[in-house]
């Protein structure tokens, strides 16, 4: 298992329970962790992600990015999020059909800028 710091920039409008306009620094980083499972000639990567509310389109973009980086089919990459009250909550993830948001762009841009993964 491995992981990386997935903490976005502090933005009080997109916070969950712990985020307020007076928040000036990060107490503990939010993480994305990955577990690789292998069996019967197949490999599955399962990500657990401390940020909630990413749209379906952005989630697929992240799965495609990871799959491409490690040479796996996209359906072998699982991306799950936690119900944490200490992380950002992405605007745009909505019961009204999802959709993109500025936070989707900020996070996927942050991940896409990473050139390596620590497998």
Residue 5, both tokens = 């710091």
**Which candidate, 47, 10, 11, 53, places its Cα nearest to that of 31?**
47
In a domain, 17, yes or no: no
Stronger pLDDT, 101 or 66, i.e. the higher one: 66
Full domain range(s) for residue 106: 29-112
Identify the burial level of 83 via C-beta atoms within 10 angstroms of its C-beta, where 0-12 means exposed, 13-18 middle and 19 or more buried.
exposed
In a domain, 85, yes or no: yes
**Which candidate, 82, 80, 77, places its Cα nearest to that of 36?**
77
Q: Is the CB of residue 43 less than 8 Å from the CB of residue 50?
A: no
**Average pLDDT of the residues of the chain:** 70
In a domain, 21, yes or no: no
Confidence at residue 47, expressed as pLDDT on a 0 to 100 scale: 85
In a domain, 63, yes or no: yes
Q: What is the pLDDT of residues 15-54, one digit of tens each?
A: 554 556 666 777 777 787 889 999 999 999 998 877 666 6
Total structural domains within the chain: 1
d(CA 90, CA 103): 6
Share of the chain above pLDDT 90, in %: 20
């Amino acid at each position: 298992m491995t992981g990386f710091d997935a903490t976005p920039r502090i933005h009080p409008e997109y916070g969950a329970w712990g985020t307020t306009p007076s928040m000036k620094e990060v107490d503990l980083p939010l993480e994305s962790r990955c577990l690789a499972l292998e069996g019967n000639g197949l490999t599955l990567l399962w990500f657990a992600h401390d940020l909630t509310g990413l749209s379906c389109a952005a989630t697929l973009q992240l799965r495609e990015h990871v799959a491409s980086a490690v040479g796996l089919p996209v359906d072998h990459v699982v991306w799950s999020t936690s119900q944490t009250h200490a992380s950002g909550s992405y605007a745009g993830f909505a019961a009204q059909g999802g959709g993109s948001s500025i936070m989707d762009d900020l996070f996927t841009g942050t991940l896409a800028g990473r050139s390596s993964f620590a497998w």
